Amino acid sequence: MDTQFNGRVAVVGLGYIGLPTAACLATRGVEVVGIDVNEATVKSVANGEVPFVEPDLSAAVSGAVAMGRLTATSEMPEADAYIIAVPTPFEANHQADLHYVRAATEAIAPKLRGGEVVILESTSPPGTTHAISQWLADLRPDLVLPHASEGVPDVYVAHCPERVLPGRIMIEMVTNDRVVGGITPRCAEKAASVYRVFTQGQLVISDAASAEMAKLVENAYRDVNIAFANELSLISEDLELDVWEVIRLANHHPRVNVLTPGPGVGGHCIAVDPWFIVGADPDRSQLIRRAREINDHKPVHVAEQVAAKTSRFVNPTVAVLGLAYKANVDDLRESPAIEIVKHLAVACPDLDIRVAEPHVNVLPHHLEEHLNVRLQPACDAIAAADIVVLLVGHDHFKSLSRSRLAGKVVYDTVGFWR
């Protein structure tokens, strides 16, 4: 089997993972077609533009488009490899919602001629890659799929989960090790040949279900450790202790590394993926479930604390600093800051809430419906405020003069202004 891929790649989903993946392949000489259901995204990418903020991505996309290596469309093309990088949210019962993955599979099926590799990058519960193979078999009974054959299949199916950090995606996409899990070893090797085009890290070969579970474990591990820090912050609050001082002292032990507490956990990975493990085995995943519950409740607690602080004022104004799910990005997915503002706006409908988020130009639709919430520059919001609530540790907020906070009640959830 070839160790280096040589063919056309279709990347399905041009979001935070799909578009960087497409750019990495295209800038290394591979012909890439990006597919997305959002016409505005397709138009942006086709023009060499990036619809979200990520360092170094804009140059890569514009260069790949200018070279003719990257195109974008809303129609599924014929290709030699298909990379599925679509959302996998969870439903109200915390079960994985795989309808985007199913829709992508159904769009790919009629384009298959034989010899292609279909790679799932979307984080998914164990068994999803096998389901894709089964769906393709149902849709294309004329083809032999790997789950039903011990020999050489007509189409190869594998899973290669992303494991990059927003703000460093273009670096980590290339340098990080990747796990490649196939329905069969042949499938894994076929998929690995695609990633050898740009990956400098090790390609670790395994089976598809183990690769799916490994990605969930990575994020559940982080979630459990963050939950420990967040629970410590609640305990320290009750005991009138400075949690950051307690953690600083504890971390002087050579085998202790307590993480930093915050207003909750956001992003499409850590806030979502542990639920897939819980859904896969509800009876055994007690610790993982409890960690999710602790982190999910933290925004409610913060909102309640802010509401309590408003009682000392007549017609108070609150400045909320930060809406992104983490520092120095524009990514609002699953952001605890948005949940805090929403809880506060509902609980205190007469409260004047000024939100500062330097990485966005408009309020997210979750907050637009609340008439008592407005978006302002940080300096203006702080100047008007009686209470200043720091929710995200953007560098922009670090640069603000502490004198602006004089005479104001400050609630710092990230330990910036201790």
Q: Known catalytic residues?
A: 215, 269
Is 43 in a helix, a strand, or coil? helix
Tell me the DSSP string of 294-336. HHHHHHHHHHHHHHHHGGGSSS-EEEEE--SSSTT----TT-H
CA–chain centroid gap for 291, Å, is 18
- Residue 351: phi, psi to the nearest 5? -80, 130
Burial (0-12, 13-18, 19+ Cβ within 10 Å), 325:
buried
Contacts of 238 (CB under 8 A, 6+ apart): none
Burial (0-12, 13-18, 19+ Cβ within 10 Å), 10:
buried
Rounded to a whole number of angstroms, the CA Rg of the chain reads 23
- The secondary element (H helix, E strand) that includes residue 190 is helix 185-195
- Residue 384: phi, psi to the nearest 5? -85, -10
Structure tokens that stand for 93 in this block = 């019962």
* Cross-strand pairs, 390: 321, 412
With CA atoms as reference, report the closest residue to 411 among 378, 376, 377, 387.
387
Rounded to 5, what percent of the chain is helix, strand, coil? 45, 15, 45
334 vs 379: CA distance, rounded Å: 26
Q: List C-alpha distances in Å: 204 to 83, 177, 201, 402.
A: 18, 7, 9, 48
In the block, tokens 């599925």 appear at 84
* Count of C-beta atoms within a 10 Å radius of residue 193: 21
